[in-house]
Amino acid sequence: MGYIKDFKSPLFYSYSPSEEHVVIIKETDDPIKGSYGLTMAHKIFVRITDKFFTDDEYRTFSKGTYKVRWIEEDIATVTYLSGNRNKLIQHIYDYRDFNGTSYFNVLGSISGKWVEKDNENNKLDLTSGNIKLDMNGATYFYYFGDADEQGIHGTVLYGAEGVPSVSIILNDDNTISVGLVSLNSEKFNTYVRED
């Protein structure tokens, strides 16, 4: 992650592995404006595409309480601590070609049962009106109202009271990637549709 120092409004940036895409975050000290996610436009300009809000003027990026992960060459997540209450929030940056699509319901498109490719005990079930995730020997339940749809390829399911938040990313090969919303965990696991 790069850093351009400016005491009032520093810029943080992270390039994709091939350096074709970049996540740029401009942090402000204004609690109303929050911090901005910027996207390159026409090679030399940037435009605001996202906002990062924090509690009590907490400067998460300057404090280093954030993590940028490149899930694929064209998909990145930015996870950050929203304030002193230890709430993690995640934004998904999607640089894929949208093929003219402006909106897509990720959860609606993946209804059914899914199983992790490398561990058949980890399952995701979106068939009963709720979302059930079996992961590492524990079972978690989510409601569709807990979902934060982000772009046309990803969604974040926010858990409550002991239930971890997770991200779901649509892959180009009709699989999905599921990962914990965490500042520590790096791993996203691939899930395939159960027959």
Task: Identify the band that residue 33 occupies on the pLDDT scale cut at 50, 70 and 90.
Answer: low
3 state SS for 24-50: EEECCCCCCCCEEEEEEECCCEEEEEE
Q: What is the pLDDT of residues 176-195, one digit of tens each?
A: 999 999 998 778 999 999 87
Model-level pTM?
0.83
Residues listed for the chain: 195
Sequence-distant (6+) residues with CB within 8 A of 167 are 77, 90, 92, 154, 155, 156, 157, 177, 178, 179, 180, 181, 188
What number is the average pLDDT over the span 160-177?
Answer: 90
* pLDDT value for 167: 94
Check: CB of residue 40 under 8 Å from CB of residue 11. Answer: no
Find the helix or strand (DSSP H, E) in which 55 lies.
none
What number is the average pLDDT over the span 40-58?
Answer: 69
Structure tokens at 156: 């974040």
Least confident of 102-116, 133-147, 155-169: 102-116
What is the chain's mean pLDDT, rounded? Answer: 83
Q: What is the pLDDT of residues 122-153, one digit of tens each?
A: 999 998 778 999 999 999 999 888 888 887 88
- Is residue 32 over pLDDT 80? no
Task: Identify the band that residue 50 occupies on the pLDDT scale cut at 50, 70 and 90.
Answer: confident
* pLDDT value for 150: 84
Spatial CA neighbour of 66 closest among 7, 5, 13, 8: 13
- Which is higher by pLDDT, 48 or 146? 146
* pLDDT value for 128: 74
Sequence-distant (6+) residues with CB within 8 A of 193 are 112, 113, 114, 174
